[in-house]
Amino acid sequence: MVIDDEPVIREMLVRHLEAQGWRVFEADNGDAGLALVGTHRPSAVLCDLLMPGTNGFNVCRAIRARRDELGAITIIVTTGSSFPADRQNALEAGADHYLVKPVSPKEIAAILSAVPARPCDCPSAVAPPRAACGEADSTRVRFWGVRGSIATPGPDTVRYGGNTTCVEVRVGEEIIVLDAGTGIRLLGEQLRREFAGQPVKVHLLLTHTHWDHIQGLPFFGPIHDRGSSVTVLGYEGARQSLLKTLSSQMDSTFFPVGLDQLAGGLSVRELHELEFRAGRVPVQAIFTHHPGVTLAYRLHTPAGGVVFMPDTEVLPYPRPRPAAATPAQAAPDTEDFNSYKNQLLAEFARGAELFICDAQYTAEEYERRVGWGHSCIDDTVQLALQAQAKHLILFHHDPTHEDAAIDAMVEHARQIVARAGSSLRVDAAAEGLELVLHRKARPSPLSAAPPA
């Protein structure tokens, strides 16, 4: 049984397994995979981790919970994640083996050679649907928190800001908030002023639940205001549900008011699909390369695509390296895999009017932080160029980067763009920066106000 949402990987695995004489069933998501596992009781399951619906961690748990009925199925996790926490969580969830893509067919064959075959019959497979765009008026994007990892207030970060991730997007009447880092507190104050005692209705999209993306939520005014409604949308984590994670950070050990004691109408909706609506705005999601279950979102607005990809490690693009530095040259299949994964992200961000993307490290810093789950600015720019985005916003600034360091990074990014002969516009996210996207405006669909 092969469960993987990426058709290219699935086909490759199926081809190799069939060549080894296995009867193979395949599914492109965890729920369909579990249903087929129940029907066919396979000898082995090869399972991806980040998939729509039930994620791979929970596929492992579900199979182990039915051990009496399903018997001893060998579970091989095949994943793009080399993060130690993901490996540990997968093995704890019941995986027998953890292989990092690009996986070697020989390695799989060696594991399966020790697995007893069982007889079976019948086929199956599924394909995910595509969603259309919605409508509304103008789109306004305002940055309330732009910092990664931890808040960094102080005299050296006043221009770009020290609050962690929070971006407000207004599509017509809809208020969509992207992540709930410490910046969300100021947004809450602003909404209270704007609505002057009237109820506020907000959709809050969470990319993941690392602290810098949820820590401001308890301080977001509208969740405490009677009549207001805050709908939190996000995905189940590797270890527990979204609701449990959000409740935990408001446990009385950490915060005086529990999630179930709020005066406002806060509801948590765990998503099981990669295409959905936030209010009336169609949204697409994609898993990114970052520890745990982390997503990026694309909002389909009448003024074009707004792509929010705050935490991802864009895999390194080939680039000239200084002769002195001699990092091992990537193996050809690793380079192929990197280019395949980047291609998926580029397709996701294709032609975006606004592409807000992780650019935490300089090339020099990245050499020492490969595998940490954040991007080198050079790769972020290459991704934006490949995606033919219109405007790249460098995001998730490193806590050690003072204003001058971010200025230098913006300059560096613009030089790469100039050398590429592209019209891509590049800026760094700054607290207070507001961008307005106009329906069908050309050639530059954005007008920027200076940071507050």
Beta carbons within 8 Å of 19's beta carbon, 6+ residues apart: none
Burial class (CB in 10 A: 0-12, 13-18, 19+), 192: middle
* DSSP code, position 157: G
One of 4, 5, 48, 212 touching Zn ion (CB under 5 A):
212
Q: How far is the CA of 7 from the CAs of 127, 418, 429, in angstroms?
A: 9, 36, 35
Scanning 20-70, the segments in alpha helix (DSSP H) are 30-40, 56-65, 67-70
Segment lying near Zn ion (by CB under 5 A), choices 11-19, 124-132, 210-218, 323-331 = 210-218
Q: Which two structure tokens, joined as six digits, stand for 247?
A: 């409740």
Q: Which stretch, 171-179, 311-319, 383-391, 436-444, contacts Zn ion (CB under 5 A)? A: 311-319
Task: Return the residues of window 97-156 that contact Zn ion according to CB under 5 A.
Answer: 148
Where are any strands of DSSP class E within 33-147?
A: 44-47, 74-79, 97-100, 139-145
Of residues 94 and 148, the one with the C-beta less far from Zn ion: 148
HSE-CB for 410 with a 13 A CA cutoff = 20
Rounded least distance, CB 256 to Zn ion, Å: 26
Query: Is residue 353 at the binding interface for Zn ion, with CB under 5 A as the rule?
Result: no
Nearer to Zn ion, 295 or 306 (CB): 295
CB of 290 to Zn ion, least distance (A): 5
* Nearest-angstrom CA–CA distance, 348 and 396: 19
210 near Zn ion, rule: CB under 5 A: yes
Q: Which residue is nearest to Zn ion (CB)?
A: 210
Q: Which one of 19-27, 305-313, 382-390, 412-420 is the stretch in contact with Zn ion (CB under 5 A)?
A: 305-313
Q: Which is nearer to Zn ion, 9 or 293 (CB)?
A: 293
Q: Is 383 exposed, middle or buried (0-12, 13-18, 19+ CB in 10 A)?
A: buried
Q: Measured from the CB atom, is 282 or 399 closer to Zn ion? A: 399
Q: How far is the CB of 272 from Zn ion (least distance, A)?
A: 21
The sheet that has 174-178: what strands, in order across it? Answer: 265-270, 229-234, 201-205, 174-178, 166-171, 139-145, 434-437, 446-449
According to CB under 5 A, which one of 174, 311, 313, 431 is a site residue for Zn ion? 311
Q: How many residues sit close enough to Zn ion to count as binding (CB under 5 A)?
A: 4
By C-beta, is 25 or 395 nearer to Zn ion?
A: 395
- Residues 355-394, mask of contacts with Zn ion (x by CB under 5 A): ----------------------------------------
Binding site for Zn ion (CB under 5 A): 148, 210, 212, 311
